[in-house]
Amino acid sequence: MNLRATWEKHSQAILVYAVAIALFVFVWVMRPGYADPSNLKILSAQAAILGLATLGQTIVLLTGGMDLSIPWVFTNSAFLMAVLSGGRDDALVWVLPLVLGLAVLMGLVNGIGVAYLGIAPVIMTIGTNVIFQGLLVGLSNGTPGGAEPPLIAAISTQTVGGISILLIIWVVISIGASIALSRTRFGREVYATGSSYDAARFSGVRVRRVTAAAYCLSALFAGLAGVLFAGRLGQLYLGMGDPYQMASVSAAAIGGISLLGGRGRYLGAIGGVLITVILNGVLSAMNMPQSVQMILNGAVLFLAVLASSRRRSAAVAVA
């Protein structure tokens, strides 16, 4: 593969990482303490949590859908882990599989609604998000309790060789997911489903099954992110997963994942995660009001969607 072909294939990801590095250097110059090991540890943990949620979102986006139920799959999983474990490490042997299994079940509800009942992804997942929220509020009477086991807290806050354990987990999962999406039959079917649903179906791809599986995986990674995030908190709270709803979409879009399906790679989405985390850190450090942060994040998402639409239009025109 020559240099030009390599650039054409990876230009989006290269540009995203270039922006992430430039943004980080800019903040470092403006605030020298930003690059201190203690702050880098915090940033890497934040990126890992968002990265896991974005991984699931990426898989769904590649099929041409969108998962807006991530916040309360995230929150429910954290709450269930804390309550069922009773803060005991030994209970994790059965609690973790149960909690993640329930997360997959929540994703399956989305998958059945979208793939088999024909409900629009945005409508289906917003609806289930509200349902999941209502279930947790009802079960907890609005005051989630429980405590994270020490093992989860250690995994979520400690380092190995100066590197955050959360970051290591994210890297390992990201490598596996990237290989699965690019080298396996399931990955090819995900891209085919998002590129052209009808063409994929006529080619023998079980598009309904692939779509349902994508939502199950999205819920699985959202649940895992929620469990790990709970380990970083002293007290769980309702709505702790809310920031990840649009952040996962915008990070994927910034990283070149088409919101129309079938285009982009998780490697680029990782760069989008880094940009999102650094940008949010900058806005917080500058004491920007929450309203301004929301407006800027919305503007970034809008620009990313616009760029995604233009790339798809250009690709169709060339074809």
Nearest to 170 by CA among 125, 247, 225: 225
Look at residue 258 and tell me if it is in a domain.
Answer: no
The answer to whether 248 and 242 have CB atoms below 8 angstroms apart is no
**318 compared with 215, residue with greater pLDDT:** 215
- Within a domain: residue 176? yes
Which residue matches tokens 């980080």?
A: 24
**What mean pLDDT comes out for the span 160-183?**
93
* Nearest alpha carbon to residue 177 among 249, 244, 272, 266: 266
Whether 263 is in a domain gets the answer no
For 63, 119, 242, 313, the CA distances from 260, given in Å and listed in that order, are: 8, 16, 23, 11
| Residue 3 covered by a domain | no
| Any domain includes 87 | yes
Q: 318 pLDDT exceeds 50?
A: no
Domain assignment present for 16: no
Say whether pLDDT at 7 is over 70: no
pLDDT for residue 105: 97
pLDDT of residue 104: 97
d(Cα 224, Cα 218) in Å, to the nearest integer? 10
The confidence score (pLDDT) of residue 115 equals 95
Query: What confidence score (pLDDT) does residue 2 get?
Result: 64
**38 token code pair:** 């203690």
**Mean pLDDT across 110-118:** 95
* 264 located within any domain: no
pLDDT at 307 over 70: no
Domain encompassing residue 220: 33-240
Q: Is residue 229 part of a domain?
A: yes
Taking the mean position of all CA atoms in its chain, how far away is CA 266?
Answer: 10
For the stretch 262-290, pLDDT in tens is 888 999 999 999 999 988 877 776 777 77
Q: Kindly report, residue by residue over 92-107, the tens digit of the pLDDT.
A: 999 999 999 999 999 9
33-88 pLDDT, tens digit each: 788 888 888 899 999 999 999 999 999 999 999 999 999 999 999 999 998 988 89
Q: Can you tell me the distance from the alpha carbon of 184 to that of 190, in angstroms, rounded to the nearest whole number?
A: 10
pLDDT at 210: 96
Summarised one tens digit per residue, pLDDT across range 205-216 is 999 999 999 999
225-244: per-residue pLDDT in tens?
A: 999 999 888 778 888 899 89
Contacts of 108 (CB under 8 A, 6+ apart): 212, 215, 216, 219
Give the pTM: 0.91
Helix axes 244-254 and 70-85, enclosed angle (nearest 10): 130
**Of the listed ranges 98-102, 155-159, 221-225, the one predicted with least confidence:** 155-159
Q: With cut-offs at 50, 70 and 90, classify the pLDDT of residue 298.
A: confident
Look at residue 93 in the predicted model and tell me its pLDDT: 94
What is the rounded CA–CA span in Å between residue 70 and residue 126?
Answer: 9
Q: What whole-number distance in Å separates Cα of residue 117 and Cα of residue 137?
A: 28
Give the pLDDT of residue 9.
Answer: 63
Cα 112 to Cα 69, 123, 130, 280: the distances in Å are: 14, 13, 17, 35
pLDDT at 70: 96
Higher confidence at residue 286 or residue 178?
178
| Residue % of the chain over a pLDDT of 90 | 50
* Torsion sign across C-alpha atoms 265, 17, 302, 112: positive
Per the structure, the count of domains in the chain is 1
Q: What is the pLDDT of residue 280?
A: 81
User: Which residue type does 239 have?
Assistant: G
Give Cα 120 to chain centroid, integer Å: 20
